[in-house]
């Protein structure tokens, strides 16, 4: 399985197969044995003198270190129903594209003084790269550029165009500016400006071309993503914060790389400790500290539960940076410094959550990782454990993955039909304007290999601000995503999943009796689909699921008893029956759904602002001219649904 971050880390077994003897025939393997019970499998291992590494009654299995001879002897027993002797859970894919030669990036924050700016650049290759073109654009009021430097080259005075507002320079040969390791783009202007840095960053743009397929653009900026992380507002969580709905009484288990126990993560909004347990699934023991070497788990916890107040214009708003700032936390560490973990460690972590559910009131399990599926969903050992968690009453939220835009790229455990699988949307750096929000290419698409529609919903996952441990592998590998104020910005469906786990905690505080199926139903039935002006879907269900999540809509308009229809969890767990989804292959070899051609707009979705796309039935109907209606050929009656929702909201208001 793979942690969802900017970088890809392939999960391998926590204990690699190692040669304990010189003879190849005595090489030891790390294997999983599955049978009628974990105890029976453990007895077989011990009878052959093998080393038991994992006891996993949740899936009637064990992990063991065995020689080939020991394994062969064990497999003669009729008690063994299945074995896996290759625990590298995500094997290399020979068809993956080769790494691009363009590995040049820039820091998220540009540095400004009154007369100019500086943008730190990073060349992560071991060779110098040369720029072939530089294009800059800025407000005329800043005047002309008086000094410009890029990498190892500087221009001043008459070497620069005298016109204000922008310039384009082309370079060739050895005189082209070179970037080796870390370098800078620096610009000085004739006139001063005292506007805030983020505002000026949004007024300035640069494009540096280093080759045919290598162009670097300066990023926009949020107005203030130190005091306001925005996503609580976007999802409606801030409205609940003001009414003291902040996740109190709900424990979320975060199965990831551990936790940096910063006060805003380890303490709730009252300053009280809220980490109820720390379990190291790698060693199999509860610990006093689940040290986060990677930083991934801490960042996800920040999205979920950061207890720092949101400030606007220096004043408290009554809302908080995290989605559920008062949840309790159960930290399960299953991933190491490189974002790698073992399949059996993950199963052991899920088992611990189930075993300790009542003790710690664990209601939510967040799984922000994904792996290319190797088995049907019901044979995947992690999925088997996760089904048990769902059966036990734990709402499981998983990331779809970051392997889009290809179809069938949703990873495991997100391919499990029962759970809530979350894809990402990004906000184009305008957090309070949904008109330019879109599903980014990286967000994994469905269907699953068993033809189920995934993801179930999409949620904010683009450039998400949060805390992570200084010196973690994320911060050392990607210093460009560190903000001056100490936060770290990450993009991925991992963050989207953690956000949804927070929303689930808010729902469960309000209605503790909710079952996992009903939580899923509330979120999916109330999500806002992306709709084009023609009344057709802007994205297929394989891209957006049911739509953009909203906790306020879930509370007011969410349905019950609509999730996982046509499935039977008990039959799946027992092996009595397994289930296929509705996806089909068209005559021309395309993956589709019955009737999808009539539902999906032919217009390709814009990556950013769109004149035709909007999110939600209300926004779609209210943008139409008076008297306008959907085409009679449309399979959707948005006007009817709009009136139903409007009536429901009026009833609640009265």
> Looking at the annotation, which residues are catalytic?
256, 296, 494
Range list of β-strands (E), 281-352: 285-286, 309-312, 315-320, 328-333
Going by C-alpha positions, the residue among 355, 409, 354, 417 that lies closest to residue 380 is 417
Distance of alpha carbon 297 from alpha carbon 1, whole angstroms: 14
Structure token digits, residue 92: 């290399």
- The rounded distance, in Å, linking the Cα atoms of 547 and 557 is 14
Looking only at Cα atoms, what is the longest distance across the chain? 86
For residue 149, give the nearest of 129, 128, 131, 126 by alpha carbon.
131
Q: Return the structure tokens found at 52.
A: 């038991």
Are 347 and 381 within 8 A, CB to CB? yes
Spatial CB neighbours of 230, under 8 Å, sequence gap ≥ 6: 222, 427, 431, 432, 465
Is the Cβ–Cβ distance between 364 and 512 less than 8 Å?
Answer: no
The reply to whether omega before 413 is within 30° of 0 (cis) is yes
Angle, vertex CA 281, rays to CA 279 and CA 284, nearest 5: 85
Cite the beta strand spans of 138-213 per DSSP E: 145-150, 153-156, 166-170, 178-179, 182-189, 205-211
Distance from C-alpha of 352 to C-alpha of 350, rounded to nearest angstrom: 5
DSSP 225: T
| Residue 232 Cα to chain centre, angstroms | 16
Instruction: Name the burial class of residue 2, with classes exposed (0-12), middle (13-18) and buried (19+) by CB atoms within 10 angstroms of its CB.
Output: buried
End-to-end CA distance of the chain: 49
Tell the residue number behind the tokens 């299945």, with chain if given: 82
C-alpha distances out from residue 613 to 148, 434, 534, Å: 40, 10, 9
Total residue length of the chain: 654
For 30, the enclosing helix (H) or strand (E) is strand 28-35
Measured CA angle at 41 (ends 38, 47), to 5 deg:
140
- Residues 254, 302: contact at Cβ < 8 Å? no
Phi, psi dihedrals of residue 233, rounded to the nearest 5°: -70, -45
145-150 and 182-189: which strand pairing?
antiparallel
Distances in Å between the Cα of 434 and the Cα atoms of 121, 125, 640 are 30, 37, 23
φ, ψ of residue 403 to 5 degrees: the values are -110, 15
């Amino acid at each position: 399985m793979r942690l969802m971050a900017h970088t890809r880390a392939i999960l391998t077994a926590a204990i690699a197969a190692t040669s304990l003897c010189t003879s190849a025939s005595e090489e030891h393997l790390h294997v999983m044995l599955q049978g009628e019970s974990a105890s029976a499998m453990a007895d077989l291992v011990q009878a052959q003198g093998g080393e038991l590494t994992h006891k996993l009654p949740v899936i009637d299995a064990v992990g063991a270190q065995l020689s080939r001879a020991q394994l062969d002897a064990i497999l003669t027993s009729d008690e063994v129903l299945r074995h896996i002797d290759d625990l590298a859970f995500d094997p290399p894919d020979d068809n993956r594209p080769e790494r691009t030669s363009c590995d040049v990036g820039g820091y998220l924050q540009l540095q400004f003084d009154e007369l100019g700016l500086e943008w730190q650049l990073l060349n992560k290759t071991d060779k110098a790269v040369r720029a072939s073109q530089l294009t800059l654009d800025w407000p005329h009021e800043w005047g002309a550029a008086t000094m410009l430097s890029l990498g190892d080259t500087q221009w001043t005075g008459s070497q620069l165009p005298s016109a204000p507002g922008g310039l384009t320079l082309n370079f060739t040969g050895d005189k082209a500016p070179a970037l080796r390791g870390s370098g800078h783009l620096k610009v000085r202007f004739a006139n001063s400006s005292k506007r805030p840095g983020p505002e000026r960053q949004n007024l300035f743009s640069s494009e540096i071309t280093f080759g045919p397929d290598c162009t670097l653009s300066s990023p926009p900026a949020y107005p203030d993503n130190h005091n306001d992380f925005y996503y609580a507002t976007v999802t409606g969580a801030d409205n609940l914060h003001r009414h003291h709905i902040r996740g109190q009484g709900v424990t979320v288990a975060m199965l990831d790389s551990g936790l940096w126990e910063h006060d805003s993560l380890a303490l709730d909004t009252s300053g009280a400790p809220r980490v109820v347990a720390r379990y190291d699934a790698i060693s199999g023991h509860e610990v006093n500290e689940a040290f986060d070497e990677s930083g991934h788990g801490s960042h996800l916890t920040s999205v979920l539960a950061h207890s720092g107040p949101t400030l606007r214009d220096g004043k408290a708003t009554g809302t908080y940076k995290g989605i559920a700032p008062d949840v309790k936390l159960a930290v399960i560490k299953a991933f190491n410094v490189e974002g790698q973990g073992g399949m059996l460690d993950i199963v052991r972590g899920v088992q611990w959550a189930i075993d300790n559910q009542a003790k710690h009131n664990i209601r939510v399990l967040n799984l922000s990782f994904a792996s290319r599926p190797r088995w049907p969903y019901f044979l995947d050992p992690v999925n088997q454990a996760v089904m048990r968690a769902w059966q036990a009453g734990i709402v499981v939220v998983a990331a779809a993955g970051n392997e889009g835009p290809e179809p069938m790229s949703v990873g495991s455990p997100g391919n499990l039909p029962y759970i809530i699988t979350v894809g990402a949307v990004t906000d184009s750096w305008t957090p309070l304007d949904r008109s330019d929000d879109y599903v980014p290419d990286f967000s994994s698409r469905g269907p699953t290999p068993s033809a189920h529609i995934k993801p179930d919903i999409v949620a904010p996952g683009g450039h998400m601000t949060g805390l992570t441990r200084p010196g973690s592998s994320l911060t050392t590998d990607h210093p460009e995503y560190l903000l001056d104020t100490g936060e770290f910005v990450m993009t991925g469906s991992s963050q989207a999943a953690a956000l949804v786990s927070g929303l689930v905690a808010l729902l469960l505080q309000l209605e503790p009796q909710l079952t996992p199926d009903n939580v899923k139903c509330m979120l999916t039935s109330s999500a806002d689909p992306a709709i084009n002006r023609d009344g057709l879907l802007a994205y297929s269900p394989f891209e957006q699921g049911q739509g953009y999540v909203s906790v306020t809509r879930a509370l007011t308009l969410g349905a019950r008893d609509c999730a996982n229809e046509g499935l039977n969890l008990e039959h799946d767990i027992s092996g009595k029956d397994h289930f296929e989804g509705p996806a089909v292959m068209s005559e021309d070899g395309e993956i589709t759904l019955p009737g999808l051609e009539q539902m999906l707009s032919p217009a390709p979705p814009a990556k950013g602002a769109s004149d035709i796309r909007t999110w939600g039935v209300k926004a779609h109907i209210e943008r139409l001219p008076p008297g306008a209606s959907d085409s009679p050929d449309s399979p959707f009656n948005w006007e009817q649904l709009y009136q139903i929702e409007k009536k429901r909201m009026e009833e609640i208001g009265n």
